[in-house]
């Protein structure tokens, strides 16, 4: 008689719901990965049995020298840049990377995690993501770490998670950018940033306001505008700032800054009639018109530390369980200059 037991694996979400665990945990059990508590493993196996699936392997420690990288959409070049440098650095250490790109709708961060765990990666690096949001869900990070999958976070927050966290200092970046514009003679300085639900945005606003206050300058009315981190978001947000008489603006990323230059061309007749500072320092900023002043994140140094931290987690030495903060570098180019009203003849 044929075996009546099902051989088709039930969906991860169905098993997770029945067992009361996450999809990554189900994946670990199905792949025989270590790092799942015995009572949790038993619940998953029982749920699988209820759903007619009985082929569950024994837990087996296995190192594959493969690291998962979960990144935002590559339409924002900062994600592609970070992914490139992290993958290259890990490659020098003998690790391959498997990249999962989220779109926040169909391909969620949680889905990426489940797929990477299912593929048997040795650890996962998160570039921004939920940990960069004030209201972001972080249970999947904690569960990964608790179940033995090394996690390293890039930018965002780490105060609630005992994992390595490497970030760039947005507050210091804002201070550098605003100080640069003040020295050029600007007093009507605006900020074009992402939503305040993002932790980097809040840090940037803090640095912006502290710098104005330190120089005895009142924040212009309506000087902080939030918009999507895109070229079109930058164009729309910059148009609003220009209508308020802003002569210079600091942007949340380079794409927004490029949108601001385009807005100035439309509204003022020339992209050089307003000073614009970007953030990230991605490759294309030298090719804009005019070339973009920007705050460059030290991608190479951050990638080296990400690799060191991940390998330390995998080896069990855990030497980097802390927050490591890098300062961005101000690259002054032609997109910043004295206000046109006071510029020398």
Supply the pLDDT for residue 278. Answer: 98
What's the rounded Cα separation, in Å, for the pair 287 and 279? 15
Write down which residue in 277, 297, 317 finishes a domain. Answer: 297
- Report the C-alpha dihedral over residues 33, 35, 40, 46, rounded to 10 degrees: 10
CATH code, 31: 1.10.260.40
138 in any annotated domain: yes
Q: 183 and 164: one domain?
A: no
227 in any annotated domain: yes
CATH code, 209: 3.40.50.2300
Supply the pLDDT for residue 5. Answer: 43
* CA distances from residue 18 to 4, 12, 24, 45, 47 in whole angstroms, order as listed: 22, 10, 14, 11, 6
Q: Name the residue range of residue 188's domain.
A: 170-297
Q: 192 and 276: one domain?
A: yes
**Predicted confidence (pLDDT) per residue in 90-101, tens digit:** 999 999 999 999
Q: 160 and 183: one domain?
A: no
Q: What angle do CA 322, 204, 236 make, to 5 degrees?
A: 135
* Residue numbers in the chain where pLDDT is lower than 50: 1-6, 342-345
190 in any annotated domain: yes
Tokens describing residue 297: 């994140």
Supply the pLDDT for residue 10. Answer: 86
Q: 115 and 78: one domain?
A: yes
Complete edge-to-edge strand list for the sheet that includes strand 293-296: 224-226, 189-193, 248-251, 275-280, 293-296, 329-331
Burial of 160 (0-12, 13-18, 19+ CB in 10 A): exposed
Q: 50 and 123: one domain?
A: no
Q: 181 and 163: one domain?
A: no
Q: 118 and 53: one domain?
A: no
What's the rounded Cα separation, in Å, for the pair 223 and 237? 11
Q: How many residues in total does the chain contain?
A: 345
Contact indicator for 140, 24 with CB cutoff of 8 Å: yes
Contact indicator for 256, 229 with CB cutoff of 8 Å: yes
Supply the pLDDT for residue 2. Answer: 40
Cβ of 316: how many Cβ atoms within 10 Å?
Answer: 7
339 in any annotated domain: no
344 in any annotated domain: no
The SS3 assignment for 171 reads helix
Supply the pLDDT for residue 77. Answer: 93
Q: 204 and 267: one domain?
A: yes
Supply the pLDDT for residue 30. Answer: 80
Q: How many domains does the chain have?
A: 3
């Amino acid at each position: 008689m044929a075996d009546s037991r099902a051989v088709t694996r039930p969906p991860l979400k169905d098993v997770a719901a029945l067992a009361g665990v996450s999809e990554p945990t189900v994946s670990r059990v199905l792949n025989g990965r270590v790092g799942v508590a015995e009572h949790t493993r038993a619940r998953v196996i029982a749920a699988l049995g209820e759903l007619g699936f009985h082929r569950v392997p024994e837990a087996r420690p296995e190192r594959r020298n493969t690291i998962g990288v979960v990144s935002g959409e590559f339409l924002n070049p900062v994600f592609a840049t970070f992914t490139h440098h992290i993958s290259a650095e890990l490659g020098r250490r003998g690790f391959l990377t498997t990249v999962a790109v989220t779109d926040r709708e169909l391909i969620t961060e949680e889905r990426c995690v489940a797929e990477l765990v299912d593929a048997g990666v040795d650890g996962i690096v998160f570039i921004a993501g939920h940990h960069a949001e004030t209201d972001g869900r972080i249970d999947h990070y904690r569960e990964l770490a608790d179940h033995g999958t090394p996690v390293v976070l890039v930018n965002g927050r780490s105060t609630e998670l005992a994992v390595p966290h490497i970030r760039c200092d947005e507050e210091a970046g804002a201070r550098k950018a605003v100080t640069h514009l003040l020295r050029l003679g600007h007093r009507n300085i605006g900020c074009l940033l992402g939503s305040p639900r993002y932790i980097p945005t809040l840090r940037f606003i803090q640095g912006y306001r502290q710098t104005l206050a330190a120089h005895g300058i009142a924040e212009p009315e309506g000087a902080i505008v939030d918009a999507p981190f895109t070229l079109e978001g930058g164009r729309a947000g910059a148009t609003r700032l220009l209508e308020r008489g802003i002569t210079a603006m600091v942007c949340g990323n380079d794409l927004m800054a490029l949108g601001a230059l385009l807005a100035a061309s439309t509204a003022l007749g020339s992209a050089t009639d307003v000073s614009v500072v970007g953030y990230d320092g991605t490759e294309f900023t030298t090719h804009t018109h005019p070339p973009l002043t920007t705050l460059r994140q030290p991608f190479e140094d951050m990638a080296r530390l990400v690799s060191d931290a991940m390998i330390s987690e995998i080896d069990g030495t855990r030497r980097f369980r802390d927050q490591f903060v890098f300062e961005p570098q101000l690259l002054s180019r032609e997109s910043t200059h004295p206000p046109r009203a006071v510029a020398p003849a």
